[in-house]
Amino acid sequence: MLDIKEIRKNPAVFIQSLQKRGADENQIKILLELDNQFRALKQELDQLKHDKNKLSLEISLAKKEKKDIAQILQKSKEIDQKIEQKEQDMTQIQKEIKKILHNLPNLVDESVPIGKDENSNKEVKKVFEPKLTSKDVLAHYEIAKYIGLDFERGVKLAGSRFTVIWSKLAKLERALANFMLDLAIKKGYIEVAVPYIVNTNTMFGTGQYPKFIDELYKIERMDYWLIPTAEVPLTNLHANEILDKKDLPLKYVSLTPCFRKEAGNYQKDIKGIIRQHQFNKVELVRFSTKEQSNNELEKLVQDAADVLEKLQLPYRVIELCSGDLGFAAAKTYDLEVWIPSQDRYREISSCSNCKDFQARRANIKYRDVLGLEYVHTLNGSGLAVGRTLVAIIENYQLEDGIEIPKVLRPYVGIDKIEIEKNKKY
């Protein structure tokens, strides 16, 4: 959440940031008008309360002197009515101010390239040249029934965009997740098992609520939501806490299912498991001082990239432009893995520095020598397990099966998943 005091001091900075995002800059003007109204009402209210106190004193003195206090009581009653009305007006304006603040996106970092949409994103680097294209492989959904990827039963059990995974492929998916966790732990991340259901305050802390409620799964008649990513519970672990600067950075990793309606993307990636309502993901979260957060972002990106490098999957790093940034992000790098059947790179991890945006919403601070500061929060996928599985199925595809990457063989216990055309799951 943005700081209204900072907006008051320098509104041009916030207007410019919204312009960079292609968002509605008039929200700042409306916000400041409401803020001026609120502060004017506050002054009027303070004056009315002062007048009320004076009248109370007059009433007390008049009573002692046995004077008629009818007129003074009437004035006091009128002031009470005005005070009540002012308080009601202030409450309503405060709600409107909060609504705008809760829906304003983060400030864009100065280093972020300016652009309208993904076409202005900047390629930072490529690692490993792709060896296979659509001419060389079948899409993962085309060989699905021969390797244990079961869409029909997923639909039967839950509906479209749900999948059942069988046997050796299920073991490979589990192996991928364990490999990602082990790699993160070796890098100093603390593994955390978190709830998959959180309350509204937790969703608010990371910025999913109220901005993205149409994308979230709500549990009816309860203050519970299914998590869209482990970023939500991991970041909120320290909500309403004060951390010690010497303990920063903190690094957490968690494997969870993620639940997303993908309501705005119904026609995208309708085939296969690129875009599912439920998928597994290993999430990396860091808590940093404000001075070190951009350095921590670079480290976070490399931590996610190391997974792809050890799996020897072709990938590239993209720096997102201002118009393609997420709501809570000040700066983001996407990692995109090569998908041969599509002849293109697809996002497999998004690593963001949210600076103090989430910390203000969740009230997470650290103690510095000069006082209390809001922490800077960072998050990134390390990685999306399903999409990594797709990348392996296609980049390691042979005529008679799927080769297991060398680093995963100790986890899976086999070198290859055979294509079994006569097998029925």
Q: What is the pLDDT of residues 40-54, one digit of tens each?
A: 999 999 999 999 999
CB 233, CB 257: distance < 8 Å: no
Q: Which pairs from 333-338 meet CB under 8 Å and 24+ separation?
A: 333/124, 333/297, 333/301, 334/121, 335/301, 335/304, 335/305, 335/308, 335/383, 337/308, 337/313, 337/387, 337/388, 337/391, 338/128, 338/130, 338/313, 338/314, 338/391, 338/395
Q: Which pairs from 80-84 meet CB under 8 Å and 24+ separation?
A: 80/52, 82/48, 83/45, 83/48, 83/49, 83/52
Strand partners, 418: 401
CB 141, CB 272: distance < 8 Å: yes
Q: What is the pLDDT of residues 136-194, one digit of tens each?
A: 999 999 999 899 999 999 999 999 999 999 999 999 999 999 999 999 999 999 999 99
CB 388, CB 175: distance < 8 Å: no
The owner of tokens 């963001």 is 352
Domain boundaries, the chain: 4-103, 118-418
- 4-103 CATH choice from 1.10.287.40, 3.40.50.720, 3.30.720.110, 3.40.50.150: 1.10.287.40
Q: Nearest 5 degrees, angle CA 280-CA 311-CA 283? A: 30
* Regions of the chain short of the pLDDT cut 50: none
- In this predicted structure, what is the pLDDT of residue 268? 64
pTM: 0.92
- In this predicted structure, what is the pLDDT of residue 326? 97
Class of domain 118-418: alpha beta
Q: Which pairs from 155-160 meet CB under 8 Å and 24+ separation?
A: 158/277, 158/278, 159/277, 160/270
- In this predicted structure, what is the pLDDT of residue 64? 83
The Cα–Cα gap between 164 and 183 comes to 27
| Secondary structure of residue 29 in the 3-state scheme | helix
- In this predicted structure, what is the pLDDT of residue 285? 98
